[in-house]
Amino acid sequence: MAVNSPLPVAADLKPIAGIRLGFAQAGIKKPNRKDVLVMALAPTATVAGVFTTNRFCAAPVQVCKAHLDALHMSDAPIRALVVNTGNANAGTGDAGLAAANATCSALAELLECEPAQILPFSTGVILEPLPVDKLIAGLPAALECLSENNWYAAAEAIMTTDTQPKAASSYVVINGIPVTMTGISKGAGMIKPNMATMLGYLAMDAKVSQSVLEHMVKQAADQSFNCITIDGDTSTNDSFMLIATGASELEITEIDSPEYLALATAVNALSQKLAHMIIRDGEGATKFISIAVEEGRDLEECRKIAYSIAHSPLVKTAFFASDPNLGRILAAIGYAGVNDLDVSKLDMYLDEVLVAKSGGRNPDYREEDGQRVMQQSEITIRVKLGRGEAKTTVWTCDLSHDYVSINADYRS
Amino acid sequence: MAVNSPLPVAADLKPIAGIRLGFAQAGIKKPNRKDVLVMALAPTATVAGVFTTNRFCAAPVQVCKAHLDALHMSDAPIRALVVNTGNANAGTGDAGLAAANATCSALAELLECEPAQILPFSTGVILEPLPVDKLIAGLPAALECLSENNWYAAAEAIMTTDTQPKAASSYVVINGIPVTMTGISKGAGMIKPNMATMLGYLAMDAKVSQSVLEHMVKQAADQSFNCITIDGDTSTNDSFMLIATGASELEITEIDSPEYLALATAVNALSQKLAHMIIRDGEGATKFISIAVEEGRDLEECRKIAYSIAHSPLVKTAFFASDPNLGRILAAIGYAGVNDLDVSKLDMYLDEVLVAKSGGRNPDYREEDGQRVMQQSEITIRVKLGRGEAKTTVWTCDLSHDYVSINADYRS
């Protein structure tokens, strides 16, 4: 059960002119489940992405990066994205790279384009060889059912340990021209060192130049997918892709324009929603936790402290237990690596409850107030550093028995 | 099934210092269900409300108004609100007034205060005598379980045809002082001439002077409960009450202050959430529809047009059927009573789809685009009048077979 996150409604997912989606049951890991997704793009489309910073990045991520880099030296646009579940094709060495390239070649042949015009993605178990023959054998079926209306099925096709598909749409009217956007995502949650992936795909019908789209995807990720964490592990396959199909009349070629701002605001909001869906469906999650760090000297120290709290297993299990053992949060702030932090200026709130004031326990704080907030399903921790204007928010979930069960059982 | 509205989580409902809630099963209409709610207030509390404009306003509404008016000539604050379901005590003449007054007297005796310090509310069938003896007999049980933590049960206790309880909390920190607020509501939906009621109660721990609270509740209602409609019928019992318990250190005595603005903004947002919950759980509702009317000459004409659309059974059944029979919307605009409306300046959108342009069908409009949006569970109709700066938004739901079934069966 995802935390306060109703199932998406298929009819609410808007088709985006210029992108068609098809899926197949290729039997990559298990039979009778959708495990291949193809997103076919109009030739007018631009694509940009951000990827995992994990040094062991998976073979398909390496191929994606190479094909996106090649866009700067070529006029041949990306024509399709292909995603498989059931196997991450990571930690698979040269054979893995060959498998990713073979996937691109096979799809390119079917779509009559070049392999470099394909972006491959994989998610699932790592350190196991990708059954690339099965994947390739599934491609014709995926192409056969290509449709603009397959977003819900697409969201299902990329699920792994997710308990429900994640998808949403929105639109914005800019200069009288409507832009629609639909995105899908999948979670998340892993126990080191070898599991899971976060994937996000957001498509819109605006026309956006490649360099502008690259800027837009980075700032969107920085306010959404880069601000969530289940367990602090960065997977080998994490990717967030922004697609502008160019089917709408709205064209964005400059970052310093009101049109860019309007579009980026809408993209950020939808990205955030897709990112939150991942947290709400985090493995075993029972609580959705926002961690706001304010009054920092710079963004970096705010992020350090927010992630230090978000990643602390002591903090996360206390949230699961609804135990206001809030000294654990102060401890996580203390070891966050902000060396000149003056804790005597620090205030900490749990929702509206002022727990710590000027670095110590607020004299008016009552255990029962903290206890009450800890029992909620949605909780905000707010830390005020009292030394500047910078701020950030990071979202996470608690750490439950089920998290352990799910991950212990993942390969069975 | 409410439209995209998950059940509230009991632990997320924040207790508000200075208000305790107790309930009872008094058997007013049916046995074994909570049908009496008492909200007992600290002596520091202020209370203000807005009520139905229906000329047949129910006996308890008349008594409420008289008791609130008396506050201006007395130092004796309101000490409790009492709500019963199962019977609206409306259209009941002098006997109804006597019953409402008897309820106040009985509760006042138990709480050792004056009858004028009690506010009574009723909801349920009208034109039937209130079994006041049963109601009064239930009061001691309600007082026995008074607790700050009973918000979820309170939301259940005021339900009638609602399929789920409606409740939410929020908080805001103003000048370093936290203010928490929790509200409950019940819907809504009636077939003329004799059914149902909308009730809303929002309590916060701020200290707000009586005159300021009266201003705050009006503007909150104007942006929330006064902007929703299931079927256009104004019930005999509709009430929205704002309670400031005075338990927090934050005191608001002036409307022209940043503190007022911050608090009112939070109150408005929570009121809107509670109001939306009513629409999402509208009788038989399958869709949540926002109607935004923009570029009007004044607010009144925007509201006229928005409500004309929202109340049209032709429009509402078309939404239920997902039938893009959008001329019905134009017709509803046309008969809204804005006599000098120049339709040649009018544009209409269904979500991002421009359906009508300059008063006629948009040449680029395709039926399939309208069809697609009509199938969604959340839809925005946007009408631009092209003659000014005023705007408003009204929320409603569709009109389904189930609406008729529910209301036809209501008294069985």
The pLDDT value given to residue A232: 66
Pick the residue from chain B with its C-alpha nearest to A384.
B176
- B372 to chain A, any CB pair closer than 8 A? The answer is yes
**Are B349 and A4 in contact (CB < 8 Å)?**
no
Maximum alpha-carbon separation in chain A: 71
Q: Are residues A125 and A178 in the same domain?
A: yes
- Interface contact B349-A377, CB threshold 8 A: no
B176: nearest CA in chain A? Answer: A354
Q: What is the pLDDT of residue A125?
A: 82
| The predicted structure's pLDDT at residue A194 | 39
Average pLDDT of chain B is 92
Residue B364: phi and psi, rounded to 5, are -85, -5
Percent with pLDDT over 70 in chain A: 95
**What is the mean predicted confidence (pLDDT) over A10-30?**
97
Q: A407: annotated binding-site residue?
A: yes
State the smallest CA–CA distance between residue B321 and chain A in angstroms: 13
Cβ distance B178 to A353 less than 8 Å, yes or no, reads: yes
Please report the pLDDT score of residue B405 as a whole number. Answer: 73
The position carrying tokens 């509230």 is B8
**Shared domain check, B273 and B314:** no
Is the confidence at residue B130, as pLDDT, over 70?
A: yes
B9 interface with A at CB cutoff 8 Å: yes
Same domain? B360 vs B270: no
Q: Tell me, yes or no, whether A388 lies in a domain.
A: yes
Contact A9 B352 (CB under 8 A): no
Among the partner-chain residues B6, B351, B354, the one whose CB lies closest to the CB of A4 is B6
Q: Which residue of B has its CA nearest to A176?
A: B354
Best residue in A180, A250, A352, A375 to probe B by mutation, most B CBs within 10 Å?
A352
Cβ of A324 under 8 Å from any chain B Cβ? no
The three-state (H, E, C) secondary structure of chain A, written as one string: CCCCCCCCCHHHCCCCCCEEEEEECCCCCCCCCCCEEEEEECCCCEEEEEECCCCCCCHHHHHHHHHHHHHHHCCCCCCEEEEECCECCCCCHHHHHHHHHHHHHHHHHHHCCCHHHEEEEEECCCCCCCCHHHHHHHHHHHHHCCECCCHHHHHHHCCCCCCCCEEEEEEEEECCEEEEEEEEEECCCCCCCCCCCCEEEEEECCEECHHHHHHHHHHHHHCCHHHEECCCCCCCCCEEEEEECCCCCCEECCCCCHHHHHHHHHHHHHHHHHHHHHHHCCCCCCCEEEEEEEEECCHHHHHHHHHHHHHCHHHHHHHHCCCCCCHHHHHHHHCCCCCCCCHHHCEEEECCEEEEECCEECCCCCHHHHHHHHCCCEEEEEEECCCCCEEEEEEEECCCHHHHHHHHCCCC
Number of domains in chain A: 2
In the listed set A261, A280, A299, which residue is the last one of a domain according to the structure? Answer: A280
Measured between CB atoms, does B351 come within 8 Å of chain A?
yes
| pLDDT on residue A409 | 58
**Catalytic residue positions of B, numbered:** 197
Residues B124 and B165 in one domain: yes
Residue B55 has pLDDT above 90, yes or no: no
Looking at chain A, the whole-number percentage of residues with pLDDT higher than 90 is: 75
Q: What is the pLDDT of residues B15-34, one digit of tens each?
A: 999 999 999 999 999 999 99
pLDDT at A103: 98
Residue B171, domain CATH: 3.60.70.12
* A92 annotated as a binding-site residue: no
Q: What is the pLDDT of residue A56?
A: 76
Give the model confidence (pLDDT) of A125-175 as tens digits: 877 899 999 999 999 999 999 999 999 999 999 998 889 999 999 999 999
Q: Are A292 and A262 in a shared domain?
A: no
* Domain boundary pick from B229, B260, B280: B280
Q: Is residue B5 part of a domain?
A: no
Point out the residue among A4, A178, A375 whose CB comes nearest to the CB of B354: A178
Does residue B132 fall inside a structural domain? yes
With an 8 Å Cβ cutoff, is A235 touching chain B? no
Residue B188 has pLDDT above 70, yes or no: no
pLDDT band at residue A81 using 50, 70 and 90 as cut-offs = very high
How many CB pairs (< 8 A) connect A and B?
A: 61
Q: Do B267 and B404 share a structural domain?
A: no
Contacts with B112 (C-beta within 8 Å, 6 or more apart), sequence order: none
Task: Note whether residue A2 is domain-resident.
Answer: no
Report yes or no on A5 lying in a domain.
Answer: no
A171 contacts on B by Cβ (under 8 Å): 351-352
CATH for A404: 3.10.20.340
Where in the sequence is the domain holding B18, given as residue range(s)?
10-280
Mean pLDDT for the stretch of residues B373-386? 96
Q: Are residues A317 and A384 in the same domain?
A: yes
- Tell me whether residue A287 is annotated as binding: no
Choose the closest CB to B6 out of A6, A171, A354.
A6
A-facing residues of B in 72-111 (CB < 8 A) are none
**A177 to chain B: closest CA residue:** B352
Reported as a single tens digit per residue, the pLDDT across B109-120 is 999 999 999 999
Crossing angle for the helix pair B327-334 and B313-320, to the nearest 10 degrees: 160
User: Does residue B199 sit in the same domain as residue B244?
Assistant: yes
Q: Using pLDDT thresholds of 50, 70 and 90, give the confidence band for residue A190.
A: low
Flag whether residue A133 sits within 8 Å of chain B, measured between CB atoms.
no
To probe the interface with A, which of B170, B249, B352 has the most A CB atoms within 10 Å?
B352
Q: Does B398 lie in the same domain as B349?
A: yes
Cα distances (Å, whole numbers) of residue B352 to A97, A205, A264, B372: 42, 12, 17, 11
B205 and B41 in contact (C-beta within 8 Å)? no
pLDDT digits (tens, 9 = 90+) for A218-276: 999 999 988 888 766 667 788 999 999 999 999 999 999 999 999 999 999 999 999 99
Query: Does residue B1 lie in a domain region?
Result: no
Structure confidence at residue A381 as a pLDDT band (50, 70, 90)? very high
**Domain end marker among A233, A250, A280:** A280
Q: Do A9 and B376 touch (CB under 8 A)?
A: yes
HEC string of chain B? CCCCCCCCCHHHCCCCCCEEEEEECCCCCCCCCCCEEEEEECCCCEEEEEECCCCCCCHHHHHHHHHHHHHHHCCCCCCEEEEECCECCCCCHHHHHHHHHHHHHHHHHHHCCCHHHEEEEEECCCCCCCCHHHHHHHHHHHHHCCECCCHHHHHHHCCCCCCCCEEEEEEEEECCEEEEEEEEEECCCCCCCCCCCCEEEEEECCEECHHHHHHHHHHHHHCCHHHEECCCCCCCCCEEEEEECCCCCCEECCCCCHHHHHHHHHHHHHHHHHHHHHHHCCCCCCCEEEEEEEEECCHHHHHHHHHHHHHCHHHHHHHHCCCCCCHHHHHHHHCCCCCCCCHHHCEEEECCEEEEECCEECCCCCHHHHHHHHCCCEEEEEEECCCCCEEEEEEEECCCHHHHHHHHCCCC
Checking if the pLDDT of B204 tops 70, the result is yes
Q: Which residues of A touch B378 (CB under 8 A)?
A: 9, 12
What confidence score (pLDDT) does residue A350 get?
Answer: 96
% pLDDT > 90, chain B: 75
Same domain flag for B131 and B43: yes
Chain A nearest CA to B254, separation (Å): 23
Amino acid at B113: C
In chain B, % of residues over pLDDT 70: 95
Q: Do B12 and A378 touch (CB under 8 A)?
A: yes
Residues of chain A contacting residue B375, judged by C-beta atoms under 8 Å apart: 11
Q: What is the pLDDT of residues A90-133, one digit of tens each?
A: 888 899 999 999 999 999 999 999 999 999 999 988 778 999 99
Q: Does residue B133 sit in the same domain as residue B212?
A: yes
Q: How far is CA B20 from the centre of its chain?
A: 21
Burial of A1 (0-12, 13-18, 19+ CB in 10 A): exposed
Ranking A76-80, A194-198, B171-175 by mean pLDDT, the lowest is A194-198
- Kindly state whether residue A4 falls inside one of the protein's structural domains: no
Confirm whether B210 is domain-assigned: yes
A377 and A234 fall within a common domain: no
